């Protein structure tokens, strides 16, 4: 079994116990889910959700020893409440998201997530959806491409890369796109590959990742039982900022403008921030799994409405 990122930290903060219900909204191949089911034995229950049908097949095989205690759904965490309704659950005691692209996806060249091997420009988490990375690269306008690269990749050469993409169409493979970016940015002398930000932006846009996260957060807060915990692992600053700001807002009783003398918003704190600073992987974990190096874990706990 591949041990997922921040495995021990997730279990320590999520605090799985017998008789409780949990959701792994990005269950992947089942690494974190397995730990949650082990820690909540003999009767803890888990709902696993993932957009990747292939990952769900692997997870099902991995978790078979816990048959009867878990359910797997092919779908998005953005529809959390809908999935819980289907299962007949009204509330849960812990929720986990491990955002970003998985090792299974990165290490399957034909999925098109990596610029290191020649493959179709795909990047879909859910391969039943129509729109792929190739569709965006070849059909968006130069202005739309530049906005996407800047917003989702924080790419400072966004306008130049967008111009070169339009001039180089059609672009159908991962290495073709990486070559286009390198013509603009130049080859890296160290650190991250020059196409990293472009590929990140495309993946986020194809899968509508930030929109999904924004829709998920209030649902997760609503369905948590009091003292239930929400744990989210992010891998880049866009996701991490979104989670941090949401946690901070939901931890305050008033969200009126700072200079407003009287509170009129009526907002009440629903969460307590458990991790004021994000939890990072240890040096030992990064040495064993370099892909863990940018992981950040943030955790919040549901408050009673009168707190």
pLDDT, tens only, 226-255: 999 999 999 999 999 999 999 999 999 999
Say how far apart CA 119 and CA 302 lie, in whole Å: 44
User: What pLDDT score does 103 carry?
Assistant: 86
Q: What length does the chain have?
A: 307
Closest listed residue to residue 9, CA positions, set 45, 35, 42, 47: 35
Going by pLDDT thresholds of 50, 70 and 90, the confidence category of residue 2 is low
- Which tokens belong to 299? 């955790």
Q: Is the Cα torsion angle 220, 273, 9, 69 positive or negative in sign?
A: negative
Q: Regarding predicted confidence, which is higher, 265 or 203?
A: 203
pLDDT digit string (tens) for 154-202? 999 999 999 999 999 999 999 999 999 999 998 765 678 899 999 999 9
Calculate ∠ Cα 20-218-253, nearest 5°. 100
User: What pLDDT score does 277 carry?
Assistant: 97
Q: Could you give the strand order of the β-sheet that contains 21-24, starting from the edge strand earlier in sequence? A: 70-74, 45-50, 21-24, 92-98, 224-234, 296-302, 271-273
Say how far apart CA 192 and CA 199 lie, in whole Å: 12
Average model confidence (pLDDT) across the chain: 95
CB 195 within 8 A of CB 187: no
pLDDT digit string (tens) for 106-149? 889 999 999 989 999 999 999 999 999 999 999 999 999 999 99
Going by pLDDT thresholds of 50, 70 and 90, the confidence category of residue 3 is confident
Domains of the chain: 7-104+209-302 (3.40.50.150), 110-207 (1.10.150.170)
């Amino acid at each position: 079994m591949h041990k997922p990122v921040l495995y021990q930290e997730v279990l320590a903060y999520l605090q799985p116990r017998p008789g409780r219900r949990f959701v792994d909204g990005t269950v992947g191949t089942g690494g974190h889910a397995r730990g949650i089911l082990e820690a909540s034995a003999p009767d803890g229950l888990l709902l696993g959700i993932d957009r990747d049908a292939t990952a769900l097949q692997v997870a099902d095989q991995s978790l078979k020893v816990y048959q009867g205690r878990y359910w797997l759904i092919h779908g998005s965490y953005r529809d959390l409440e809908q999935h819980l309704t289907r299962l007949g659950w009204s509330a849960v005691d812990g929720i986990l998201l491990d955002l970003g692209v998985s090792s299974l996806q990165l290490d399957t060249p034909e999925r098109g997530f990596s610029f290191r091997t020649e493959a179709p420009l795909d990047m879909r988490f859910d391969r039943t959806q129509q729109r792929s990375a190739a569709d965006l690269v070849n059909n968006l306008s130069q202005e739309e491409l530049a906005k996407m690269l800047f917003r989702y990749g924080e790419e400072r050469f966004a306008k130049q890369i967008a111009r070169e993409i339009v001039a180089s169409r059609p672009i159908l493979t991962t290495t073709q796109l990486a070559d286009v970016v390198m013509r603009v940015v130049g080859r890296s002398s160290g650190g991250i590959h020059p196409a990293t930000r472009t590929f990140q932006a495309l993946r986020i846009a194809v899968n509508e990742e930030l929109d999904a996260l924004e829709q998920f957060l209030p649902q997760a807060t609503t369905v948590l039982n009091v003292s239930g915990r929400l744990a989210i692992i992010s891998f880049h600053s866009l996701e991490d900022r979104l989670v941090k700001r949401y946690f901070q807002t939901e931890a305050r009783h008033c969200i009126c403008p700072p200079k407003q003398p009287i509170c009129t918003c009526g907002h009440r704190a629903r969460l307590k921030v458990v991790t004021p600073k994000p939890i990072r992987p240890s040096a030992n974990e990064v040495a064993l799994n370099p892909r863990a190096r940018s992981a950040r874990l943030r955790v919040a706990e549901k408050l009673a409405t009168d707190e």
